[in-house]
């Protein structure tokens, strides 16, 4: 009988202690806005005469497009960085082959063309990426937040 009472008391104490630590909680978040927003700029260049096309106008349009893509690449370098891969081959203590490859991979959203114009035989495109604009574009999808308050029940 005493064993049953001790066992029952032990079980009740264990059950009470597990109820004490198993609270329901509600976490309240607040959204964070950066203190300042940088504006990134980039310029892309492309040669007009080197483009494929029947006449100057066709070549100019291709150079315009190529210079815009080059400006996008430059913005991606600023945002994501550039991956470099180097390789050197040495034979008989003499460098036979030495090379570097670079790669940029990223998504640029919200960039704006400032100016696009010919410069001699090249076409130039100036672009900007306003990070405040990007913040507002992505805010609806990825809301940065921190814990504001926690309520236990």
Q: Could you tell me the residue range of the domain that residue 139 belongs to?
A: 2-152
Q: How far is CA 107 from CA 20, 77, 133, 150, in A?
A: 49, 11, 15, 36
Number of alpha carbons in the 13 Å side-chain half-sphere of residue 100: 4
**141-150 confidence digits (pLDDT tens):** 776 677 777 7
What per-residue confidence (pLDDT) applies to 144?
Answer: 67
Q: How many domains does the chain have?
A: 1
Q: What is the DSSP string of 35-59?
A: S---EEEEEEEEESTTS--SSHHHH
What per-residue confidence (pLDDT) applies to 129?
Answer: 95
Give, as one character, the DSSP assignment of residue 129: E
Write down the pTM of the prediction. Answer: 0.66
Q: SS3 of 131, please?
A: helix
Handedness of CA 60, 63, 65, 71 (dihedral sign): negative
Q: How confident is the model at residue 68 (pLDDT cuts 50, 70, 90)?
A: very high
What per-residue confidence (pLDDT) applies to 44?
Answer: 96
pLDDT, average across residues 92-97: 85
pLDDT, average across residues 27-44: 86
Q: Which of 22-26, 27-31, 99-103, 140-144 has the highest average model confidence (pLDDT)? A: 99-103
User: What's the distance, CA 92 to chain centroid?
Assistant: 44
Lowest-confidence range among 1-5, 124-128, 134-138? 1-5
Q: How confident is the model at residue 21 (pLDDT cuts 50, 70, 90)?
A: low
């Amino acid at each position: 009988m005493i064993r049953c009472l001790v066992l029952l008391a032990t079980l009740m104490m264990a059950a009470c202690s597990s109820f004490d630590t198993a609270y329901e909680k509600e976490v309240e978040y607040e959204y964070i806005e950066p203190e300042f927003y940088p504006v990134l700029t980039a310029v892309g260049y492309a040669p007009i005469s080197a483009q494929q096309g029947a006449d100057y106008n066709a070549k100019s349009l291709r150079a315009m497009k190529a210079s815009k893509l080059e400006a996008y690449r430059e913005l991606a370098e600023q945002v994501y960085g550039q991956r470099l891969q180097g390789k050197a081959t040495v034979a008989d203590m003499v460098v036979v082959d030495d090379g570097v490859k670079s790669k940029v991979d990223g998504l640029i959203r919200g960039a704006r063309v400032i100016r696009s114009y010919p410069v001699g035989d090249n076409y130039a495109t100036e672009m900007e990426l306003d990070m405040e604009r990007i913040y507002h574009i992505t805010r609806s999808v990825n809301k940065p937040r921190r814990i504001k308050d926690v309520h236990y029940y």
